[in-house]
Amino acid sequence: MSSAAQTAMDNVSRISDNPKLRDLKNATIDLTNESGLTTDHGVKIPDTDNWLKVSDGQHNGPSLLEDQIAREKIHRFDHERIPERVVHARGFGAHGHFRALNDGASKYTFAPVLTDTSRETPIFIRFSTVAGSRGSADTVRDVRGFAMKFYTPEGNWDLVGNDIPVFFIQDAIKFPDIIHAVKPEPHNEIPQAQSAHNNFWDFTGLQPESAHMVCWVMSDRGIPRSYRMMQGFGVNTYTLINKNGERHFVKFHMTPELGVHSLVWDEALKICGEDPDFHRKDLNEAIENGCPPKWTFGIQVIEEKDEHNFDFDILDATKLWPEELVPVQPIGEFVLDRTVDEFFPETEQVAFCTSHVVPGIGFSDDPLLQGRNFSYFDTQISRLGINWEQLPINRPTCPVLNHHRDGKMNHHINTNNLNYYPNRKDVCHPVPTSEGSYMEFKNKTEGMKQRVRGAKFQEHFNQAQLFYNSLAPHEKAHLIDAMSFELSHCDDLDVPRTYTKLLNNIDFDLAKAVATNVNGIIPEKPARPNHGKKSAALSQDHFLPKTPTIATRRIAILIADDFNYTDVQAIRASLASAKATTWIIGPRRGDIVAESQLGGTVNPTITADHHFEGQRSTLFDAIFVPGGAHAKSLSKNGRAIHWVREAFGHCKAIGAIGDGAAFLKHAINLPEVEIVSDVSKPEVVVSYGVVTIGKYSAGSAAKDVIRLDPNS
């Protein structure tokens, strides 16, 4: 069976297993084998290219407004756009499924989605950037949204999270302020999808509760390599309720199987121009190549009696729960294994609500969550209309039975005469029931009505310090560079001054380094002592994949005419078996002729996927240069040399064999980088991520080269 036929069959079986995909099938129209174009009212039309006109056949007269076919086409087009999301406008989604791994959560919740190991729950996830418009670039520095919809038989559960575990503000009433501050400035709508401007740093400089989150966004977390390599966090504190009626506080964690990886800033900047859809393509490519991304789903749990036993308030979303104090318990896993059929009806129209929980899961008094529970439903009304939950991507897979009626774009027809409760026919109408219903947890609250925040909400720097202390040296350097880049873009000098003053509360060296770079206030002594504590799970280094893998990594093979054909075939086969993808890059897009092979009369050719200028090194994870006489022409080609130098500068793995290594030596040209180009030497040398071998027998050397993880 061809692989396309196999994929089609896999899709069919996946759809029949997945209640949400089956449901979506009912809303799907396949136009491929249809003929006869029609209007929206179903009448066939003979011509969609010419407006009805007065004409003698030779000359055009006036176009007639009477043409209902042309009018309909234009009307439909005029109204194609809906308001983009007020935040998280640019996003990309995929379907998948979730499974509870064990009954570890049953101590805390009776929700079957988290406890029933025999159940496979369909999910849809939308990843997003926050600040940019729908058409902005994927690789900007920003927080990433990680919004999950679980279609459970008990109703939809929306877990609307981010790739960073804390937030900028403590109280939902500040949300319009932080978003106005980060979005383009109001007078000129500049800059797009950037926090590097006066207003963002002005606001956060005056709002010390943002300090912790600002450190996360300025760290490598703000520029992920891929959606597939991001952690996800529910951020807010939710609650779980078990069958004994006991309540626990909980935070949700999603940990990617591939580890947590980032771009470097120079790459991220360049990719914004070279391929603004980099993350979208990456997710599609992995799913379509049969490498569905997978995450472990974990919970951190705090007993009610321990709520006040921490030096931070566990309901403050600017604080995380250090894993040393509250370990993450893995309870489930999920994969994304199906791309969408059409972007707008699925990814654009999907709408999440933090208030959508299922029995066994509840809220807490986290003041950010309380506000979110109001905001999401509200925003869907302005974006999609009051009947947004009837849209195919949003509707639950279980029955929706109630007396809500009407509103714009209602799609339901109820065949009864009673749309209220109580009514005279209770028995055969949906009535409130306690069986399987959502019951609020009964907890006692008391206090004065006042506009305040709790006492522990007043401390803002301990965890920012903890985060900074926990970073590896290269991560600290990246954070300093990022803050320096951003504050350098603030042309009002008061802004970097205020911010660098605030930074001295986090760390003296950090404040000094950034202030020196951006003409800020260089401190003479720390504003407060550094407590010196660290938490291992705050560094990305903590999340390397359990088994090193190069699956789904993109490897460029650089060749020119007279390359060694056997080398290329061997490395491609090895990489394919490791599920990495390979791309041939050459001096032109088209056939590149290999040097003659032993015993062959015709030189083989390989078709290059791209010209050196057509795709840059930034779009790949590693480079390989085969042996062969092509090394001479590569060494004279500025673009080929730039490819290697740029990849080396971005710390990517670079491999070469024989004469290919001689080209690397010429291109990199640094005495400290050891490169074996002597074709009589069989040993593999690894130096600064450059892996070379002189002499080899096809296949064995290739295996040595590809065993290296590009991130190691």
CA distance 129 to 680: 51
Name the residue with tokens 């999907």.
Answer: 350
Whose tokens are 């550094």? That residue is 530
Work out how close the CB of 702 gets to ligand HDE at its nearest, in angstroms, rounded to a whole number: 42
- The residue number whose beta carbon is nearest to ligand HDE equals 145
Q: How far is the CB of 334 from ligand HDE (least distance, A)?
A: 16
Residue identified by tokens 């720097």 is 461
DSSP states of 62-84: EEPTT-HHHHHHHHHHHT---PP
Asked whether the beta carbons of 595 and 630 are under 8 A apart, the reply is yes
600 contacts: CB under 8 Å, gap ≥ 6: none
Q: Which residues bind ligand HDE (CB under 6 A)?
A: 85-88, 91, 126, 128, 145, 147, 160-162, 167, 172, 175, 235-236, 317, 351-352, 368, 371-372, 375-376, 379
- Residue 508 sits at φ, ψ, to 5 deg, of -60, -50
Omega of the bond leading into 396 within 30 degrees of 0 (cis): no
For the chain, the C-alpha Rg in angstroms (whole number) is 29
Q: Smallest distance, Å, CB 164 to ligand HDE?
A: 8
Element containing residue 499 per DSSP (H, E): helix 494-503
Catalytic residue selected from 18, 88, 253, 564: 88
Find out whether 421 is annotated in a ligand binding site. no
Structure tokens at 454: 């709790």
Q: What are the angstrom distances between the C-alpha of 116 and each of 99, 110, 152, 158, 596?
A: 8, 9, 12, 18, 62
**Nearest alpha carbon to residue 380 among 408, 404, 355, 353:** 353
Closest Cα partner for 204 from 450, 464, 474?
A: 464
The DSSP secondary structure of 399-452, one letter per residue, reads: ---SS----TT------SS--SSS-TTGGGS----STT--------------S-
Is 162 designated active site?
yes
Comparison of 112 and 208: residue with beta carbon closer to ligand HDE = 208
Q: Is 678 helix (H, G, I), strand (E, B) or coil?
A: coil
**Cα 105 off chain centre by:** 26
User: Least separation, in Å, of the C-beta of 450 and ligand HDE?
Assistant: 20
CB of 1 to ligand HDE, least distance (A): 37
For the CB of residue 529, give the shortest distance to ligand HDE in the complex, in Å.
30
Residue 456 CB, shortest distance to ligand HDE, in Å, is 18
In the complex with ligand HDE, the residue whose CB is nearer, 91 or 293, is 91
Do 574 and 551 meet the contact criterion of CB atoms below 8 Å apart?
Answer: no
CA angle 389, 392, 396 (to 5 degrees): 60
Distance CA 487, CA 474 (A): 20
373 is catalytic: no
Q: Report the residue number, 363 or 508, with the smaller CB distance to ligand HDE.
A: 363
Which of these is catalytic: 18, 97, 156, 162? 162
> Which of 230/503 has CB closer to ligand HDE?
230
Q: Which of 168, 157, 224 minimizes the C-alpha distance to 200?
A: 168
- Residue number, 134 or 531, with CB nearest to ligand HDE: 134
In the complex with ligand HDE, which residue's Cβ is closer, 168 or 648? 168
- How many angstroms separate the CA atoms of 125 and 339, rounded? 11
Tokens coding 431: 């009535």
Cα 259–Cα 121–Cα 278 angle in degrees, nearest 5: 40
63 forms bridges with which residues in the sheet?
Answer: 53
Nearest CA among 582, 478, 509, 469 for reference residue 218: 478
Smallest separation (angstroms) from ligand HDE to the CB of 178? 8
CB 133 to ligand HDE: min, Å: 13
Residue among 318 and 566 whose Cβ is closer to ligand HDE: 318
Catalytic residues: 88, 162
Show binding-site residues for heme.
Answer: 376
Binding residues: 376
